[in-house]
Amino acid sequence: MKKTKKIFSGNLANNSFIILLVIAGILLITIFALWFSRTGRFTPQKAFETDRSADLSGQKITVLTNQPHLRSAEALAMWFNRETGAVVQNVVVNYEETLNYILKDVLGDSPQLDVLMIWYADLGTLAEKNVITDLTDFRNKNREIIRPDDFIPSLYTPYTLYKGRRWALPYDGDTHVLFYRKSLLKKYDLAPPGTWEDYAAISRVITEKEKHNGIYGSVIMAFPAPMLIISGFMNRLGGYGGNLLDQENRPMVNSPEAVAALSIMIENARYALPTPLETDFDISKDAFLSGRVAMAEQWTDVGIMAEDPAQSLIRGDWGVIQIPMGSGAGARHAPALNAGFSLAISKKAPNTDVALSYLLFATRPDITLRLNLINGGIDPTRISVFESEKYRDFAPKISIAARAALHGAAAWPNIPMTPRLLDALSNNLVMALEHRKSARQALDDTQTHWLEILKQGE
């Protein structure tokens, strides 16, 4: 009591002034904290302090990735090790082998994988086979770190949601844009195409004029892996106003819009770099970066590579626009979520706790931004990346085109029957491009096969 009396002894006005200052300070701190928590500008960083300081030295996890994402996977392994001490071993597979590799590992006798990079179209298959962990509660518990509202809406649902539960977090936000060589179009007084018919005309002119120089009007990825050949079809299908499935998941793959899309794809292939059915991602990318084609439908990170002197011969001589529209009443700019990857946790992960720490780390907003600044094969998944001045400075052309493309982009199905559906469509697209079937016949046969597959899955 003596100390208390001593502290508050003296002039009453002075004491009252000190008390008011203390109360005002407390109120200001409270208001400041509430403002930051509402804006989200500090909560994610603060909420992760415990995880960042966690010592995971001596711990090890195994992460599945693919070749196009190896650079980003290696960067994540290094950054995660520096922050936590944990060691990450990356296992690299071809993207078309990812699903089978996951199933073989998780359903085998000695599972090795902890974190799985999955194609979002395989989400339903993996969930139904009880191969991946339900992350719904984990996401809800760590909402302030994950910031789900920051993910681009058009990809967040198909990348993560199946039967009302969240099974993964977005990692690579893939869609296509159209790259073009400025000098080649200017040489023949051509403007970038607004429609697929414009694209066909440009490709024909440049191929006919430049073929003797080894230069072609376009390059089409039609290698018979569903992720590649169907991407080309989807770019055109949406442009003509079509969809693969209706809202009740009933197939409409032989609609008039779909036939128009495949017909123009067959026409486009006539003037493309030989041979579309042998053209995969690397062939297409290298053809554009070496200046051998005038136009390329590609993932947005190719624009980052185009300015890299170690990879590109066309620095400063390229432009990028949205995927063209079709023609007719349903014509629109409607790019698709071609490819696209999420991170999931194996149901039989040998080290689940560290795997979950890695998942939080890899998809954190600040780490996501870093990944988009290293030319690591990663495209934006977050709104905050597009809004970042650093990203806009790093990729000024791409940031505009990619954001426009991802706004309302159409998703591929991610139901359990998707792998079989895509295989059936891929096979018929190949036969159409080989002129063994007409566009109508190829899609009618696909429609019949899809109805059978979906009926079996009921």
Task: Please give the structure tokens belonging to residue 286.
Answer: 């290298």
**Tally of residues, the chain:** 458
Residue 435, judged by CB atoms within 10 A of its CB (0-12, 13-18, 19+), counts as exposed
Q: Which helix (H) or strand (E) holds 172?
A: strand 169-172
90 beta partners: 63
Name the residue among 344, 337, 342 with its Cα closest to residue 413: 337
Domains 49-174+339-406 and 176-336+417-456 equal at CATH topology level: yes
Cα–Cα separations (whole angstroms), residue 44 to 124, 146, 366, 376: 30, 7, 9, 24
The answer to whether 349 touches 116, Cβ cutoff 8 Å, is: no
Listing DSSP states for 86-99 in one string gives -EEEEEEE-GGGHH
Q: How many beta carbons lie within 10 A of that of residue 311, not counting itself?
A: 17
The answer to whether 277 touches 435, Cβ cutoff 8 Å, is: no
Write out pLDDT tens, residues 64-114: 999 889 999 999 999 999 999 999 999 999 988 999 999 999 999 999 999
Residue 35, judged by CB atoms within 10 A of its CB (0-12, 13-18, 19+), counts as exposed
Task: Please give the structure tokens belonging to residue 138.
Answer: 């984990």
**DSSP 8-state secondary structure symbol assigned to residue 157:** H
Cα–Cα separations (whole angstroms), residue 67 to 371, 373, 378, 415: 16, 18, 12, 25
Residue 190, judged by CB atoms within 10 A of its CB (0-12, 13-18, 19+), counts as middle
Strands (E), 8-80: 60-66
The answer to whether 299 touches 174, Cβ cutoff 8 Å, is: yes
Cα separation of 233 and 368, whole Å? 30
Between vectors from CA 234 to CA 231 and to CA 236, what angle results, nearest 5°? 120
Name the residue among 416, 414, 424 with its Cα closest to residue 446: 424
Amino acid at 125: T
CATH for 176-336+417-456 is: 3.40.190.10
Listing DSSP states for 221-284 in one string gives ---SSHHHHHHHHHHHHHHTT--SB-TTS-B-TTSHHHHHHHHHHHHHHHTBSS-GGG--HHHH
Which ranges of 395-437 would DSSP assign to H, the alpha helix? 396-406, 418-433
In the block, residue with structure tokens 């040489």: 187
3-state secondary structure of 349: coil
Domain definitions of the chain by residue range = 49-174+339-406, 176-336+417-456
CATH for 49-174+339-406 is: 3.40.190.10
Name the residue among 207, 263, 214 with its Cα closest to residue 237: 263
Task: Please give the structure tokens belonging to residue 129.
Answer: 């086979």
Between vectors from CA 262 to CA 261 and to CA 263, what angle results, nearest 5°? 90
Residue pLDDT tens, the chain, 458 long: 333 333 333 343 444 444 444 445 545 444 444 443 333 333 333 333 334 547 899 999 999 999 889 999 999 999 999 999 999 999 999 988 999 999 999 999 999 999 999 999 999 999 999 999 999 999 999 999 999 999 999 999 999 999 999 999 999 999 999 999 999 999 999 999 999 999 999 999 999 999 999 999 999 999 999 999 999 999 999 999 999 998 888 999 999 999 999 999 999 999 999 999 999 999 999 999 999 999 999 999 999 999 999 999 999 999 999 999 999 888 998 889 999 999 999 999 999 999 999 999 999 999 999 999 998 888 999 999 999 999 999 999 888 888 888 877 889 999 999 999 999 999 999 999 999 999 999 999 999 999 999 998 76
Amino acid at 251: P
Strands (E), 284-384: 295-299, 318-321, 341-345
Q: Return the sign of the alpha-carbon dihedral for residues 355, 359, 362, 366.
A: negative
pLDDT given at position 375:
85
Backbone angles phi, psi at 10, to 5 degrees: 105, -160
The answer to whether 402 touches 379, Cβ cutoff 8 Å, is: yes
